[in-house]
Amino acid sequence: MDPARTPVLVGVGQLLERTDDPREASEPLALLEAAARSAAADARAGDALLRQIDTCALTQVIAWKAQNAPQVLGERLGARTRRDSVAHTGGETGLTLLNRVCREIAAGEARVALVAGVNNMRTLMTAHARGIQLDWRPGAGTGEPELVGERRWGVSDREREVGLLMPTDVYPLFANALRARRGLSLEEHFARMGRLMSGFSEVAAKNPYAWFPTYRSPEELVTVTETNRMIAFPYPKYLNAVMNTDQASAVIATSAEKARALGVPEERQVWWWGGAEADEAAWYLSERRALDESPAMRATHRTALARAGVSLDAIDRFDFYSCFPVAVEMACEMLGLSEEDPRGFTVTGGLPYAGGPGSSYTLHALASMAERLREAPGAKGLVTGNGWYFTKHSASVLASAPPEALPADVTLPDSPGPTPPLDRADGPATIETYTVIYARDGAPERGIVLGRLDAGGARFLANTPPERGVLEDLVAREGVGRPGRVRHVDGRNVFEPA
Task: Indicate the residue among 399, 417, 435 that finishes a domain.
Answer: 399
Average pLDDT over the chain reads 95
Question: Does 25 lie in the same domain as 100?
Answer: yes
**CATH number, domain with residue 357:** 3.40.47.10
Residue 449 within a domain: yes
Residue 274 within a domain: yes
Once rounded to an integer, what is the mean pLDDT over residues 188-210? Answer: 98
Give the pLDDT score at 412.
Answer: 79
Residue 370 within a domain: yes
pLDDT score of 193 more than 90:
yes
Question: Does 120 lie in the same domain as 66?
Answer: yes
Residue 74 within a domain: yes
Count how many domains the chain has: 2
Give the pLDDT score at 407.
Answer: 67
Q: Determine the length of the chain.
A: 498
Q: How does residue 2 score in pLDDT terms, banded at 50, 70 and 90?
A: confident
Give the pLDDT score at 1.
Answer: 62
**CATH number, domain with residue 476:** 2.40.50.840
For residue 494, the cross-strand partners are 463, 487
Give the pLDDT score at 416.
Answer: 87
- Identify the domain containing residue 477 by its residue range: 427-497
Question: Does 451 lie in the same domain as 389?
Answer: no
First to last CA, the chain: 62
Amino acid (1-letter code) at residue 375 = E
Model confidence pLDDT, tens digit, residues 280-293 = 999 999 999 999 99
pTM: 0.96
Residue 168 within a domain: no
Question: Does 285 lie in the same domain as 366?
Answer: yes
Strands 427-438 and 483-489, how do they pair?
antiparallel
